[in-house]
Amino acid sequence: MQSPAEKLRQLLQQPGLLVMPGCHDAISARLCEQAGFATAFMSGFAVSASRLGLPDTGLISVTELIDQGRNICSAVSIPIWGDGDTGFGNAMNIRKTVRDYARTGFACIMLEDQVAPKRCGHTRGKLVVDREEALLRIQAAIDARNEGADILIMARTDARATHGIDEAIARARQFHELGADINFLEAPESLAEMQQYCREVPGYKVVNLIEKGKTPIPSHDELQQMGYKIAVYPLTLLNVSIQAMQHSLAALKEGDRLPPTLDFEKLTSAVGFPDYYAEEQRYRQRLGEE
């Protein structure tokens, strides 16, 4: 059987833009797979919100992220990308985090150059470490991969917000030169900046598309023409889930109408009852044969 990392490497080698939704738990990951997506991203923002009810400001622990990731990776057959925040410590901590994410079943880990505790890349108040430390973090992750951790490394820089686009591009380029599998310049603020990044940095590049965030959201064709390989929508499912729950709660509170819902048969199908029934029947038949 192929490992998650091997599956992802094959996806990256295929032509075209790889479109990747964000997930935050096992059911959202299953829905991504059922919808036909070839891969999905476990968003730290979304996990912090869904698991803790707290903002993405470094309040969630590596243990909680790994536990959530284990449930997500076990629920699907598609490769899952995992948000590794800043790596949770120094170079030795980062090496351990990379190994732990690989053992959990992630295909790729994202690591960034923010000062800990970090925060969502499209919110205010971010700080980044100096370039030397940023490079050391990614080198530690690459070392863990090269020493046997079967996982891809996505190197992210948030320096656009603090040092400008040129410094962010310089960091992304050096991440690629170190050997990061994928590089990610967070939150460019115009099409011109996105084009500059794609023009000046080689390798697989990620665009982070957050509804009404800092970065423009071009069409998939436009993103591919710019030079992006991966388009991630990390918060779309969380966003619409919260909106749907708020609307449903308001309808229930009013008491004069029921909110729109799935048919019960569709609900049971989404969570896996048909597969369970099929397996149950198979074992019953075997017992009957004996």
- pLDDT score for 116: 84
- pLDDT score for 120: 77
Which of these, 137, 48, 133, 56, lies nearest to 96 by C-alpha position?
Answer: 137
Cβ–Cβ < 8 Å for 207, 194: yes
Domain count, the chain: 2
pTM above 0.85, yes or no: yes
For residue 36, give the CATH number of its domain: 3.20.20.60
Residue 197: Cβ within 10 Å count? 24
User: Is there a single domain that holds both residue 236 and residue 265?
Assistant: no
Tens of pLDDT, residue by residue, the chain (290 residues): 899 999 999 999 999 999 999 999 999 999 999 999 999 999 999 999 999 999 988 899 999 999 999 999 999 999 999 999 999 999 999 999 999 999 999 999 999 999 988 877 677 778 999 999 999 999 999 999 999 999 999 999 999 999 999 999 999 999 999 999 999 999 999 999 999 999 999 999 999 999 988 999 999 999 999 999 999 999 999 999 999 999 999 988 888 777 788 899 999 999 989 989 999 998 888 887 65
User: Is there a single domain that holds both residue 154 and residue 285?
Assistant: no
Task: Label residue 53 left, alpha or beta by phi (over 0 means left) and psi (-120 to 50 means alpha).
Answer: left
User: Is there a single domain that holds both residue 36 and residue 83?
Assistant: yes
Beta bridge partners of 230: 18, 206
- pLDDT score for 84: 96
Residue 96: Cβ within 10 Å count? 17
- pLDDT score for 118: 83
Cβ–Cβ < 8 Å for 254, 66: no
Tokens of 196: 């500059």
User: Is there a single domain that holds both residue 30 and residue 75?
Assistant: yes
Tokens of 73: 């990776």
User: Is there a single domain that holds both residue 26 and residue 153?
Assistant: yes
Whether residue 233 is contained in a domain is answered as: yes
Torsion over CA: 171, 176, 181, 185 (sign): positive
Owning domain of residue 265: 260-290
User: Is there a single domain that holds both residue 153 and residue 268?
Assistant: no
Cβ–Cβ < 8 Å for 155, 111: yes
Whether residue 75 is contained in a domain is answered as: yes
Whether residue 249 is contained in a domain is answered as: no
Which of these, 9, 94, 80, lies nearest to 43 by C-alpha position?
Answer: 80
User: Is there a single domain that holds both residue 238 and residue 269?
Assistant: no
User: Is there a single domain that holds both residue 74 and residue 214?
Assistant: yes
Whether residue 26 is contained in a domain is answered as: yes
User: Is there a single domain that holds both residue 283 and residue 209?
Assistant: no
